[in-house]
Structure 1
Amino acid sequence: MIPHINRLLELWRIAAHYRLDTLVPAEELPEKARHTLALIRLHPAAWSSKERKNPLKLKQALEDMGPLAIKLGQLLSTRRDLMPPELLQQLVLLQDKVKPFDSNVAKVRIQQSLKADVDTLFSRFDEQPLAAASIAQVHTAALHDGREVVVKVTRPDIRKQILQDFEILTWLGTNLEKRLEAARAFHLSEIIQDYRQVILNELDLSLEADNTRRMRHYFTGSSMMYVPDVYMDSTDVMVAERITGVPISDIATFDKLGMDRAQLAERGLTIFFTQVFRDNFFHADMHPGNVFVETINPSNPRFIALDCAIMGELSKHDQMTVARMLLAVMNSDFMQLILVVHQAGWIPPGTDQDALAREMRRTVGPMVSKPMHELDFAGILIQVMDIARRFHLEIPPQLMLLLKTLVHVEGLGTDLYPELDIWKLAKPILTEWIKAQMNPQKNLKELGQKIPDLLLGAQDFPTLLIDSLNGLKNQSAWHAKQLHELQMMRLEVEQQQKRSWIFGSSMAIFLSIAIIAPWYISIILMILVSFLAVWRIAK
């Protein structure tokens, strides 16, 4: 049964009201997409709509559809290679210019959440929002000691709609997995559930505050990135240091101040790889509304990290797998790539690995060998996903957040500096990181750090050994008992088969004689057969 049918009907009405079927000419779309456009036109809201020529209809439609639709728009806003300029301009507005909610509601939420009056908390509170996004909006204010701050407040009544939309997505993912092999290979349902938890965590600003403090610790004193301090936080409110800078998409300001955009792009990419491999704690929502650049020192600008609600982490095994895969692609060593994927357990048994390597070389090789300013990471990713579908590869859900982030990073980097050499910059970083992981001294040091735990655990070793031996002994006794019972069952079955054969043969002989014998002999034989049947049943 389709969940929340009323919500689906509401989404259909919004699409029809804003005439989203007129965004792109039908002839430029695939055949299946045209059927969706025809469905939009069937809704009565489309018949009387006056939004056909509205220059902001896509932005407004996504706003009305809710937080998940806005998130999708933010992701697409970084992909100038995928979106027409007129649509991209609307999506960029979703980064920090979503329709705000009433400031009086914001003040009530602040007072209830921080358990103090706004005038007690701040010497000044600006009611006009500085920015508004999918989950929250931001107001500027000042503390009583003069420090300038930003106050982030979550939108009211947002959780219920998010939960409804994820129930619809879960139903959709389950059905797609039943019908599409690619959906099963990428564990679509698990990805949806993981992202559901990510979004729900984003509603808790105390988690964002903790993430911000952790990232600030990693980059304390850094010349590459600055992370604002957090002063107060709760589930619905976070008060943080106000920073001075411009969004990373403000290229006009960079040019006006004479900033080196190539250096800035390389620094941004270095920060990303540092987060993934050094800290294993990376910003997973890097749209331009969350990434700013300082303008105080144009000759040596720093990035500013905002909105640390969605963060990613990988296991040590996945870190090493990702690094080795990227290096194999950079070196065009596709047999090594397949070996890494095989060791990661992503290739099912019986797969022709030579054929898989040839397919990767044929499909991905030409794209990687292109000049770096022509490299389309999103295109490469789509090709790899198609190969994964055809060869039944298993892609762990925890890596999808990293892939989404990498698409963001590549989009931001190429916008900032189109000739960014992503592979040339990443290769030495990855090589040095892998060498560090393989360093015997480092491994011995880590082993040394674990010795106290090993020694403490050794105290329990005799007990664990005795328990294990007793377990094996009991298991052996259980197996012996099971084997004995199976042997008795087998013997009984054999005896049953033997008796059945004797009984059947006897019946056939008696019936044959009864047919040709005199009547009194037949009666005697029938009595004998009856006794034989009773004996057979009794046995």
Structure 2
Amino acid sequence: MIPHFSRLLELWRLAAHHRLDTLIPEEDLPAKARPLVQFIKLHPAAWTSRASKDPLRLKHALEEMGPLFVKLGQLLSTRRDLIPPELLAQLVQLQDRVSPFATDIARQQVEKSLNARIETLFARFDDAPLAAASIAQVHTAALHDGREVIVKIVRPVIRPQIIKDFEILNWLGHWLEARVEAARAVHLVQVISDYRQVILNELDLSLEAANTMQMRHNFMGSSMMYVPEVYTATKDVMVAERISGVPVSDLETFERLGMDRAMLGEKGLTIFFTQVFRDNFFHADMHPGNVFVETLNPQNPRFIALDCAIVGELSKSDQMTVARLLLAVMNNNFEQLIQIVHQAGWIPAGTDQNTLAREMRRTVGPMISKPMDQLDFAGILIQVMDIARRHHLDIPPQLMLLLKTLVHVEGLGRDLYPQLDIWKLAKPILTEWVKQNVNPMTSLKELGQQIPDMLMGATDLPALLIDSLHNLRQQGAWQDRQWRELQQMRLDMQQTRRRDWIAASGFLALLVTATQLPWPVAVIFLVLAGFVVLWRLIA
């Protein structure tokens, strides 16, 4: 049964009311998308709506649909290569200019969460929000010691709607996995479940504060990136250092200040690979509203990381697999790529690995020889997923958040400096990281660090040995008891089969005899046969 059917009807109504069917001419749409456009037109809200004249109808529609749809708009806002300029201008506003909620509600929430009056907490609290996004909005303020801060406040009562929308997505994921092989290959239901937890975590600003402090520690003293300090945080409110900078998409300011955009692009990619491989703690929501650039020193600017609510981590084995895969692609060695994927356990038995390598070479190979401004990274990912579907590859769900982040990074890099050679920059970083992690001396050093724990655990060995022997003895007694019970069951079954055979033989004999006798006697024989069956049933 479809969950929250009324919510689906509401989404249909909003799409019709805002005339989303008129955003792109129908002849420019893919054939598979045209039935959806026709479906939107069927709703009565489309018949009387005048929203087709609203220049911001896409932005307004996504805002009314809720936080998940705003998140989708933020992701699409980084894809200037895919989205028409007039629609992109609306999506960009979703990065930090979502419609705000009332200031008096914001004040009440701050006072309730921090358990003090606004006047006690701040020397100044600005009523007009600095920014408003899908999950929270930000106000500027000043502490009594003169420090300028931002106050981030979670939007009220959005959690139930997010949970409801994810229940619909979960149903859709199960429906697709049952019918579409590509959905099963990427573990769509698990991806939806993981992303649900990510978004629900984003509602807890104390978790964002912890992520921010961890990332600040990782880049303390860095010339590449600055992470603001967090002063206090609760589940609903976070107070942090106010920074000075401009969004990474503000190319006009970069030109005016004479910033080297190529150098800035290289720094951005270096930060990304550093987060993924050195720290194993990467910012996974890198749209322009969350990535700023300092303007105080235009000759050597730093990135500023904001909104660290969504972060990603990989296991050590997944880290190594991703690094080796990227190096294999950079070296144009697709046979090695398939070997790595096979070692990771992603390829099922019986797969034609030579055919798989040829398809990967044809699809991914062109990435190596093209600059970023000619790459369609999202399109290539779709092709790779299609190959995974055809060959039944089993892609771990934990890598999907990294792929989403790569799409963000590519979109930012394409805007900042389209000619950036991502592969030339990434190769030495990845090569050095792999060398360090497969270095025998490093492995010995890690083993040496574990020796104290191993020695401390050695004191428990006698007790563990006694427990193991005791468990083995109990297991042996249990197995002996199980064997005797099985033997008894076998004897019971043999006796049952013997009685069934005797009863069936007797019943057939009575029936045969009854057919040879006059009918009154036959009735007596049949009654006797009934007694035989009854006796067998209750025996």
TM-score (norm 2): 0.91
The alignment status of 1:315 with 2:315, answered yes or no, reads: yes
Q: Distance in 1 between matches of 2:53 and 2:129?
A: 29
- Deviation of the 1:471 alpha carbon: 2.5
Taking structure 1 as reference, are residues 503 and 322 closer, same or farther at Cα in structure 2, changes over 3 Å only?
same
Contact 1:16 1:46 in 2 (8 A): yes
Contact 2:137 2:154 in 1 (8 A): yes
Contact 1:265 1:413 in 2 (8 A): yes
Identity among equivalent pairs (%): 71
- Deviation of the 1:265 alpha carbon: 0.5
Taking structure 1 as reference, are residues 418 and 494 closer, same or farther at Cα in structure 2, changes over 3 Å only?
same
Aligned to 1:126: 126
Contact 1:373 1:421 in 2 (8 A): no
Question: Helix, strand or coil: the match of 2:264?
Answer: helix
Question: Helix, strand or coil: the match of 1:345?
Answer: coil
Contact 2:371 2:418 in 1 (8 A): no
| Count of matched residue positions in the alignment of Structure 1 and Structure 2 | 532
Letter in 1 for 2:160: K
What aligned pairs does 1:332-351 form with structure 2 within 5 A after superposition? Answer: 332-351=332-351
Q: Distance in 2 between matches of 1:372 and 1:97?
A: 29
- Deviation of the 1:141 alpha carbon: 1.2
Q: Distance in 1 between matches of 2:310 and 2:535?
A: 78
- Deviation of the 1:258 alpha carbon: 0.9
Contact 1:114 1:234 in 2 (8 A): yes
Contact 2:368 2:423 in 1 (8 A): no
Aligned to 2:441: 441
Aligned to 2:415: 415
Aligned to 1:523: none
Q: Distance in 1 between matches of 2:274 and 2:534?
A: 85
The alignment status of 1:87 with 2:87, answered yes or no, reads: yes
Question: Helix, strand or coil: the match of 2:455?
Answer: helix
Taking structure 1 as reference, are residues 386 and 507 closer, same or farther at Cα in structure 2, changes over 3 Å only?
closer
The alignment status of 1:405 with 2:405, answered yes or no, reads: yes
- Deviation of the 1:491 alpha carbon: 5.6
- Deviation of the 1:508 alpha carbon: 9.1
Letter in 2 for 1:293: V
Q: Distance in 1 between matches of 2:511 and 2:82?
A: 87
- Deviation of the 1:440 alpha carbon: 2.1
TM-score (norm 1): 0.91
Taking structure 1 as reference, are residues 487 and 242 closer, same or farther at Cα in structure 2, changes over 3 Å only?
same
Aligned to 1:353: 353
Q: Distance in 2 between matches of 1:535 and 1:119?
A: 90
Taking structure 1 as reference, are residues 308 and 533 closer, same or farther at Cα in structure 2, changes over 3 Å only?
closer
Taking structure 1 as reference, are residues 430 and 509 closer, same or farther at Cα in structure 2, changes over 3 Å only?
same
Contact 1:258 1:298 in 2 (8 A): yes
Cα distance per residue 1:357-390 (max 9 Å; x no partner): 2222232223444345422221221111111111
What aligned pairs does 1:502-521 form with structure 2 within 5 A after superposition? Answer: none
Question: Helix, strand or coil: the match of 2:304?
Answer: strand
Question: After TM superposition, what 4+ stretches of structure 1 lie above 3 angstroms from structure 2?
Answer: 366-373, 476-516, 532-539
What aligned pairs does 1:401-480 form with structure 2 within 5 A after superposition? Answer: 401-480=401-480
- Deviation of the 1:137 alpha carbon: 0.9
Q: Distance in 1 between matches of 2:409 and 2:461?
A: 49
Contact 1:368 1:375 in 2 (8 A): no
Q: Distance in 2 between matches of 1:534 and 1:197?
A: 60
The alignment status of 1:63 with 2:63, answered yes or no, reads: yes
Cα distance per residue 1:57-83 (max 9 Å; x no partner): 111111111111000000000011211
Aligned to 1:41: 41
Aligned to 2:136: 136
Aligned to 2:378: 378
Q: Distance in 2 between matches of 1:512 and 1:281?
A: 83
Q: Distance in 2 between matches of 1:206 and 1:512?
A: 85
Taking structure 1 as reference, are residues 472 and 80 closer, same or farther at Cα in structure 2, changes over 3 Å only?
same
Aligned to 1:14: 14
Deviates further, 498-507 or 275-284: 498-507
Question: Helix, strand or coil: the match of 1:82?
Answer: coil
Contact 2:371 2:420 in 1 (8 A): no
Taking structure 1 as reference, are residues 322 and 498 closer, same or farther at Cα in structure 2, changes over 3 Å only?
same
Question: Helix, strand or coil: the match of 2:429?
Answer: helix
Question: Helix, strand or coil: the match of 2:238?
Answer: strand
RMSD of aligned alpha carbons: 2.8
Q: Distance in 1 between matches of 2:510 and 2:245?
A: 106
Deviates further, 140-149 or 504-513: 504-513
Contact 1:15 1:40 in 2 (8 A): yes
Contact 1:141 1:150 in 2 (8 A): yes
What aligned pairs does 1:97-116 form with structure 2 within 5 A after superposition? Answer: 97-116=97-116
Cα distance per residue 1:135-192 (max 9 Å; x no partner): 1111111111111111111111111211111111112112112221211221111111
- Deviation of the 1:6 alpha carbon: 2.0
Deviates further, 387-396 or 59-68: 387-396
Q: Distance in 1 between matches of 2:499 and 2:118?
A: 93
The alignment status of 1:24 with 2:16, answered yes or no, reads: no
Deviates further, 149-158 or 259-268: 149-158
Q: Distance in 1 between matches of 2:217 and 2:490?
A: 69
Question: Helix, strand or coil: the match of 1:465?
Answer: helix
Letter in 1 for 2:167: E
Aligned to 1:161: 161
- Deviation of the 1:442 alpha carbon: 1.9
- Deviation of the 1:414 alpha carbon: 1.2
Q: Distance in 2 between matches of 1:162 and 1:453?
A: 44
Contact 1:187 1:396 in 2 (8 A): yes
Q: Distance in 2 between matches of 1:101 and 1:478?
A: 65
Question: Helix, strand or coil: the match of 1:59?
Answer: helix
Provide structure 2 residue ranges, at least 5 long, that are not aligned to the other structure. Answer: 517-525
Q: Distance in 2 between matches of 1:378 and 1:536?
A: 70
- Deviation of the 1:492 alpha carbon: 5.8
Q: Distance in 2 between matches of 1:216 and 1:45?
A: 49
The alignment status of 1:246 with 2:233, answered yes or no, reads: no
Letter in 2 for 1:138: V
- Deviation of the 1:354 alpha carbon: 2.7
Q: Distance in 2 between matches of 1:170 and 1:35?
A: 23
Contact 1:334 1:357 in 2 (8 A): yes
Question: Helix, strand or coil: the match of 1:137?
Answer: strand
Provide structure 1 residue ranges, at least 5 long, that are not aligned to the other structure. Answer: 517-525
Q: Distance in 2 between matches of 1:64 and 1:495?
A: 72
- Deviation of the 1:538 alpha carbon: 12
Aligned to 2:283: 283
- Deviation of the 1:488 alpha carbon: 5.1
Q: Distance in 2 between matches of 1:495 and 1:221?
A: 83
Cα distance per residue 1:207-254 (max 9 Å; x no partner): 111111111111111000011111121111111111111100001111
